[in-house]
Amino acid sequence: MSYRPFVMLTATARRPELWRLALGICVAIAVSFVLGQMLFAIVTLFLPPGSDSALADAIRRADAPAGMLLLLASMVTMGVGAIAAARALHGRSAITLIGPPPVALHQFIRVGLAAGAAALVAAAVTIWAQSTPLNPGLAPLRWLALLPLTLPAILLQTASEELFFRGYLQTQLAARLPQPWVWLCLPSALFALGHYAPGTYGSAAIYVALWAFLFGLAAADLTARSGTLGPAMALHFANNLVALALVAPEGQMSGLALMRWPFALDDTAMLMRMLPLDLITLLITWLAARLALRR
């Protein structure tokens, strides 16, 4: 399959001047920040006075269900920012960032089933390959009870990131600079930069960012091959569902996990040990997604 279907998205990317894209990125970031502050203020209205710092800390740690759900929900501001920038700077509607809705939905379901199954198999093999047992996370019944909130929260988070990086950045770059390496690599590099967090991952942060860059390339490739954002959203959703809701490291961002790895995100040695398995998982899920698109 070639990148010809990508024209369904790039054809709607009007006003492709690079200065508009640069300004649009600033607009998206500003809208996301302002909305984030507004959402935080609204939540604090329902809490006792003086709870601001405790709420901020709970969201930062995300090691309990409420904090993790709020962290995921707050990411919707990125999607809103991308939509606002596309409308204000390029005259594009939200639909033009996603592609034809029936096609996008069909591709999302097909790729989601294939990539989800591949991710689950890869997770099972990874768990089996580890010499130490997993720690329990949420009680199974509580985990099941929270799924109606967990699933849409992860979907909102992943869809919002895809709207910004692939729906907006990738398509606008492709409309101005037709060389595939440009619109495959630049949004992926910014995606990786957003995942570079030395305060969280320690000296392994650069390798986590490298993994994010490769994930961005996989999502960008699926977007160009399909002509909609559906497959990239499905790949991202399947990956984060396993990594956040099934088995997550101890501590930060483990609040919705059924099981927990016996190490934290700042355990550099264990992160480096897990990275090759994560890269293999990414390769398997990407290949499963491409096969699903060919059927």
Q: Comparing C-alpha atoms, which of 231, 220, 248 is closest to residue 68? A: 248
- Per-residue confidence (pLDDT) for residue 196, from 0 to 100: 95
User: Are the C-beta atoms of residues 220 and 166 closer than 8 Å to each other?
Assistant: yes
The C-alpha atoms of residue 195 and residue 213 are separated, in whole angstroms, by 9
Q: What is the pLDDT of residues 205-229, one digit of tens each?
A: 999 999 999 999 999 999 999 999 9
Quote the distance between the C-alpha of residue 6 and its chain's center.
21
Single pTM value for the model: 0.96
Q: Is the pLDDT of residue 128 over 90?
A: no
- Per-residue confidence (pLDDT) for residue 1, from 0 to 100: 53
E strands present in the chain: 135-136, 247-250, 259-264
> Which residues are paired to 122 by β-bridges?
none
